Each structure stands twice: as structure tokens, then as C-alpha cells.
A and B are shown apart, each in its own frame.
Chain A
Amino acid sequence: MLSYICKRLALTLPTLVLVSIAVFLIIRLIPGDPALVLLGEGADGAALAGVRADLGLDRPLPVQFVSWLQHALRGDLGRSIVSGEPVAGLILQRFGLTAAVVLVAVTAATLIAAAAGLTAAWRRNSALDLAVVGTATVVLAIPSFWLGLVLLLLFGLKLGWLPFVGYIPFSESAVQALLFLVMPVVTLTITESGVLTRMMRSSSIDVLQLDYVTHARAKGLSERVVLTRHVFPNAFAPTLTLVGLTLGHLLGGIAVIETVFTLPGLGRLMVDSVLARDYPVVQGCLLFTAVVYVVVNLLVDLCYPLFDPRVTAR
């Protein structure tokens, strides 16, 4: 088990290095003077000179990369052109909200998918199965931003049950904050449960045909026990991988939800900074999200042996 952990950790390191190189290079791809790019058009000569010295623009690219990386590791991701605030601070401020919404939604979606997928596979080709698969397929086709708009239209505008514009932080009023988050979380839960349900159903069908399930039944165990103790852990493993990937892709995909419901999250920060050509923020967001994604997948990989101990052997 220990060697498995070490191996996984060792494999993430090169990925992180490549990721940081990629982020560093992306901004350098923008034509023109990097200092101007980073400070914006209106910067004065002294500031420009300062940045040039800081970045060491006269030194070779690898050296620049190293110094940029050193800054980043210390938490210094530069300053926003638009607001002047430190990028790192901006990101951390926004991340909490995004993380909360994503985590709650994905957890809920996973629970729904696990139950629905397993049950559908167990009663394969029945009316229930058809209903589950049909719903999941339709849900898969619905863009999350449209679903958000429709929910907002229905429950926010027409029925007035839930607030929908802007956001009140937790610190001010927990109840209000939660109300604001209901629709975004529900939207995301529905959208993500589609693909997770189908995956769970598919792997459950595969597992249900294996000998050890028949063996468990041959011991006289009840269906409930067979499903929960024998089928579920083995069927869930591939879905777990998908959950990790979903968490990752949502770090970006959340931008549309944040736009629909006007939430001050990380996704929206990225989009706004792209539109405003606020390159330090773009760079910072990119690096931060990629690192979080790599870490999340690492954690998922570390949980995998709980469901499929065979991975530790390879």
C-alpha cells in the first residue's frame, strides 16, 4: 500500500512541473512586450522598468521560468491589472464559494447516481431501468447554463420562491447565503448526475454477471446484502475515477453557473479577467486550478484501493 502511495505521488510531480511550464508559456505567447502585457497599457515607465527587472526579461527563458516559479511557490502571483490587488488573494477569496458549490453538488450527484445506477442495473430492462436510463440520457443533453436559466426563470422570477441575483456571504447571513445557493447547487447536481448514473449502471451490469456475485447468492445471502457488500464496492470504483474527473472539469465549467446566478466565484473571475485582458489573474487562475485538479485526482486515486484493492498490486 505504501509503495502505491509513493508511486502515485511520484507520478504527479512531473505533471505539476509540465503544468507550470505550460502556464508560464501561455502568457508568453501573447505578442508584444511582456511587461506591458502584465501591467497594462497605462503603466508608467518606472513600473515597467521595475517589472522588467523583476522578471529578468533580459535573461534566458528557463531562468525567467525558475524565478517566476519561485515567486509562485512563495504565494506571489503578481497583481491584477484591473484592481491592483494581489492575484493570490483574489483567487483564495473566490475559491471558497466555488469549492463549496462544486463539492456539495458533486457529492449529491454521486449519491443519486450510485443508488439509481445500481438499482437500474439490478432490475435491468425493466420499466424502472428504462426510466433511469432515459432520464440520465436526457439530462446529459441539457446544458447546465440553460437548466440554470430555466430554474431561475421558474423559481426565481415567475414563482419568486428563491433569490437569484448576486450573493450574500456566509459571514453576514448564513440562511440567506444558503438560499442563494440552492438553485446553483440543484442545477449542477442534476446536470452531473446524468453521466455518473450511466457509468454506475454500466459497471454494475458488468459486475452483476461475475461469478463472485452468484457465489454470494449461493451462500444464501439476501439480495440487499449481495448488492451492498459485493456488487457496490466493485461497481463503484470506475465511477469514482469519473467523479475525480468531474470535480476537475467543473472547476472550469462552474463559470457558466456563476454567470447565470451572478455568483462571485473563481470561474467568473477567470472569465472576467480574460475579457479584461487582466493577464496576471488569468495566469494565476490557470495555475491554481490546474494544481487543485492534480491534487484532487491524486486524492481520488488514493481512495481507489478502498473499493478495488487490486490496484495496489500493480
Chain B
Amino acid sequence: MMGRVGHVGLNALVGIPLVGSLLVTIGIGLFWMPYDPIAIDLAHPLGSPGLHHWFGTDEFGRDVLSRSMLGSRISVLIALATVAVAITLGTALGLLAGYLRGWTDRLLMMMTDAVLAFPGILLALALIAVFGSSDGSIILALSTAYTPSVVRVVRATVLSIREREFIEASRSVGDSPLETIVHHILPNVLPPVVVLATSLFGWAMLSESALSFLGVGVPPPAPTWGNMLSQSRPYMDVASWLSIVPGLCIAGTLLGVNLLGDALRDWLDPRKT
């Protein structure tokens, strides 16, 4: 759906180092960071990148590198949680809709259409307006926005598999509907779902940074790359690195995740029809 890029090797070659460095950074960050990300040091505000502070300091003298490290952890955790909820719920609903058809299907489709009628960010904004601005509500908002896409993809896959003869074979052998779903449909639904999960992870990270950038995401002083970018705006002319570094982190991570997702899709792609 998103376009076959076709070079499994190339994608993996660039994607793995990018995602790898992210994971390494998070890993290191669990145990050690150069400075305390929240500690304010008014003696050294807006310091440019140098030996003591590789990425410089922000307006409160906080070390940008440490904040980036902590931010990566927060963003990734939120994105992971979102993907977990959306994939689990979406797959279950998609299987039901695709296999049972009839009124169950129609009802679920109407509901997903209704949710999909709202632009994702706005839906998230509305839910945050209701539930307040916390990690939990961000996860809730984003998973609500993304579950319908998962339902759609799973349902479409189930519909196409359903017509394949080996499903009929399963029935003719005496399998119950549940057995057919578990032994035959689910294994064939998993590859597209896995690929979708990687895309979702990227979108979730992007959305979380957008929300934080807008000021309705993760509340300060907890840093995420999004709110770091937002806070950098008043100081753009004197401390441009504050606007560059967090964005580079987001772009780098997304690029890595997307490339890995592409590599994964090509690898799983049936030369087996």
C-alpha cells in the first residue's frame, strides 16, 4: 500500500544503524546520562555545543543531550504503548468483522468510519481536552485515532483470505469457525499486521511530538523532542542548535523505523502469492 521500495538490503543497511543507535541511546539512558535532564543551571544558559555539552544547553542551562536521551525514552514508550493497544484491539475487531460479515461487520465499519472521519490530531486534541494532558491520555487519544486503520487493514486481509480455497478446505475437513480462524486465518493475517505495526510506531512517534510541540502533549518539565522544539522558538536566532537537534532526532528515528518497516515488508512479501 505504501509503495514497494524493493531494496531489502539497502533499507536494512541504513535502517538498522539508525534504529540501533536509538535503542543504544535509550539503553544507556536507563542507567546514565551526562547531566540531570531536569536540573536547572542558570549560570550557563543557551550554551553552544562544545566539549562539556555536546549538544549545548537550553534557556535554563539544561543539557540538551541528556534531555534528548530522556526524551527518546518517553517518546518510544508512549509510541510502543499506543501500538500495542491499537494492534491488539484492531486485530481482534478486524478478525470479527472480516470473518463474521453481516451486521457485526456493518456495525464495526460504521464505527470505524465515524472515528476516521475526524482528522487524527483533532481527535487527539479533543480527547486531551476531556481527559487532560498526561501520558495516559495521550496513549488513549492516539490509540483511538489509530485502531480504525488496523481494523480496516485486518478486515481487508481477512476478506481476501476468506475466498481462498484452503479456507474452504478447512471447513470441509470439519474445523469449527474458531479453529479455522486460529489455524488458517491468523497466521496469514500476521505479516501485514506486523508491517502495519512498524508504520504505526512511526506515526505514533510523529503524532506525540506534534502534540507536544503544540503544547498539549507531554507536560514539562519532562522533555520530549516535540516540546523541546516548541520551547526553542523564542531563542531561534541566538541558539539555533536548540531548533535543529531535537528535529534531527525525530527525523533520524522516523527514517530508521520506516526503512526497517520497508525492509520487513519486502522480506515477508510472498514471492509466495
Q: Is B180 an interface residue (CB 8 A)?
A: no
Q: How far, in angstroms, from A253 to B232 measured CA to CA in the complex?
A: 20
Q: How far, in angstroms, from A100 to B60 measured CA to CA in the complex?
A: 39
Chain B CB within 10 A, most for which of A26, A143, A251: A143
Interface size class of A (residues with CB under 8 A): 35 or more
Q: Could you tell me how many residues of chain B have their Cβ less than 8 Å away from some Cβ of chain A? A: 51
Q: Is B229 an interface residue (CB 8 A)?
A: yes
Q: Is A87 an interface residue (CB 8 A)?
A: no
Q: Is A232 an interface residue (CB 8 A)?
A: no
Q: Across the interface, do A140 and B258 meet the contact criterion of CB distance under 8 Å?
A: yes
Contact A149/B247 with A141-B258, A259-B214, A274-B129 known, Cβ cut-off 8 Å: yes
Interface contacts (Cβ under 8 Å), in number, total 150
Contact A157/B118 with A26-B130, A271-B125, A271-B214 known, Cβ cut-off 8 Å: no
Q: Is A90 an interface residue (CB 8 A)?
A: no
Q: Which of A85-121 contact B (CB under 8 A)?
A: none
Q: Is B22 an interface residue (CB 8 A)?
A: no
Describe A's contact surface by its main secondary structure. Answer: helix
Residues of B within 8 A of A52 (CB): none
Contact with A along B204-242 (1 / 0, CB 8 A): 001001100111100000000000011011001100100
Q: Across the interface, do B117 and A150 meet the contact criterion of CB distance under 8 Å?
A: no
Cβ-defined partner of B118 (8 Å) among A142, A256, A290: A290
Q: Is A22 an interface residue (CB 8 A)?
A: yes
Q: Which of A266-290 contact B (CB under 8 A)?
A: 267, 270-271, 274-275, 277, 279, 282, 285-286, 289-290
Q: Across the interface, do A22 and B236 meet the contact criterion of CB distance under 8 Å?
A: no
Q: Across the interface, do B113 and A18 meet the contact criterion of CB distance under 8 Å?
A: yes
Residues of A within 8 A of B255 (CB): 137-138, 140-141
Residues of B within 8 A of A (CB): 1-6, 110-111, 113-115, 117-123, 125-130, 202, 206, 209-210, 213-216, 229-230, 232-233, 236-237, 240, 243-244, 246-247, 250-252, 254-255, 258-259, 262
